[in-house]
A and B are shown apart, each in its own frame.
Chain A
Amino acid sequence: GENVEQHPSTLSVQEGDSAVIKCTYSDSASNYFPWYKQELGKGPQLIIDIRSNVGEKKDQRIAVTLNKTAKHFSLHITETQPEDSAVYFCAASNSGAQKLVFGQGTRLTINP
C-alpha cells in the first residue's frame, strides 16, 4: 500500500520568512495530493491540493510542487504570519481507492 513520509516534524521560522515542508510517496498510482492544516482540537482543513497532471499550483502565499518522477511534493508558504502556526499534513490518494494516506505531520511555529 501507499506510504507517505513527511519532513521536517517541526519547523520554526521568523515571521515574514518562507517555510517549506516536503513529502515523498511510494505508490506510483497515487494521483491526488492534498495539504491540510490542523489547529489544536479541530479537524484538518484543506489549504491546497494538486493532481498528478500538474507540476505546480499556487494560491496567494501558498504553493505546492509535484515531482512525479521522484515521487515527492512540497508545500511552500511565503511571507509567513503568526496565524500560519499549526500542524500541517500532506496526504496522497488515488481516484480508485479514494482513501487518503497521511504523512506524519509538521508542527510549524511562526515567531513574531
Chain B
Amino acid sequence: GAVVSQHPSWVICKSGTSVKIECRSLDFQATTMFWYRQFPKQSLMLMATSNEGSKATYEQGVEKDKFLINHASLTLSTLTVTSAHPEDSSFYICSARDPRHPNTEAFFGQGTRLTVV
C-alpha cells in the first residue's frame, strides 16, 4: 500500500539553529501534505497544509515565518523549524492521502522527535 516516509526520525539541535524535516510519499504523488505537532501525552494538532507549487496554509496560531514549509515536488514536502527554542521540542508528523482515492486513508510518516537544547 501507499507509504509516507519521514526523515530524520529524531534530531537534537542547539537553541537558535534551524532544523529541516522531510516528508516523502513513496508510491504516489501527493499534491497536498499535512504537518502535525504532538506534545507528550497530547493529541495531534494540525499545523499547516502543504500545497505543491503554492504557499502552505497555516492553522490559526502557527507562525508561518518560524515553521517554513516547502512543497517543491509532488513527492516531497519539507518543514523547517527556524531559530528553534526548547519550547519547539515536540514530535512532528506528516501525512498525505493518495489523490487517486481522495476520501480514503491518510498515511502518516513515522514522525520526527525534535529536541532543542
CA distance in complex: A53, B43 (Å): 27
- State in angstroms the CA–CA spacing of A41 and B102 once bound together: 28
Query: Is there an interface contact between B43 and A44, defined as CB atoms closer than 8 Å?
Result: no
Interface range for B: 20 to 34
Give a binary string over A44-57; 1 marks a CB under 8 Å from any B CB, 0 the rest: 11100101000000
Q: How distant is A22 from chain B, measured CB to nearest CB, in Å?
A: 15
Contact with B along A24-67 (1 / 0, CB 8 A): 00000001101010000111111001010000000000000000
How many A residues are at the interface, by size bracket?
Answer: 20 to 34
What residues of A have a CB within 8 angstroms of the CB of B93 in the complex? 43-44
Is the Cβ of B43 less than 8 Å from the Cβ of A46? no
Q: Are B105 and A46 in contact, CB atoms less than 8 angstroms apart?
A: yes
- Is A13 on the interface with B (CB-CB < 8 A)? no
B1-21 CB contact bits vs A (8 Å, 1 = yes)?
A: 000001000000000000000
A43: which B residues are within 8 A, CB to CB? Answer: 6, 93, 108-111
- Chain B residues whose C-beta falls within 8 Å of the C-beta of A31 in the assembled complex: 103
Shortest distance from the beta carbon of A52 to any chain B beta carbon, whole Å: 10
Which single member of A95, A98, A105 contacts B32 (CB below 8 Å)?
A98
B97 interface residue, CB < 8 Å from A?
Answer: yes
Interface residue? B34 (CB, 8 A): yes
B89 interface contact, C-beta 8 A: no
In the complex, A11 has a CB within 8 A of chain B: no
* Residues 47-93 (chain B) with a chain A CB within 8 angstroms: 49, 91, 93
Chain B residues within 8 Å of A103, by CB: 43
Contact A89 B44 (CB under 8 A): yes
In the bound complex, residues from chain B placing their C-beta under 8 Å from that of A93 are 103, 106
14 additional contacts (CB under 8 A) given A43-B109, A104-B42:
A36-B108, A43-B93, A44-B108, A45-B108, A46-B105, A49-B104, A89-B44, A93-B103, A93-B106, A95-B103, A99-B34, A100-B34, A102-B43, A102-B45
What are the 4 A-B residue pairs with the smallest beta carbon separation, nearest first? A43-B108, A95-B103, A43-B111, A102-B43
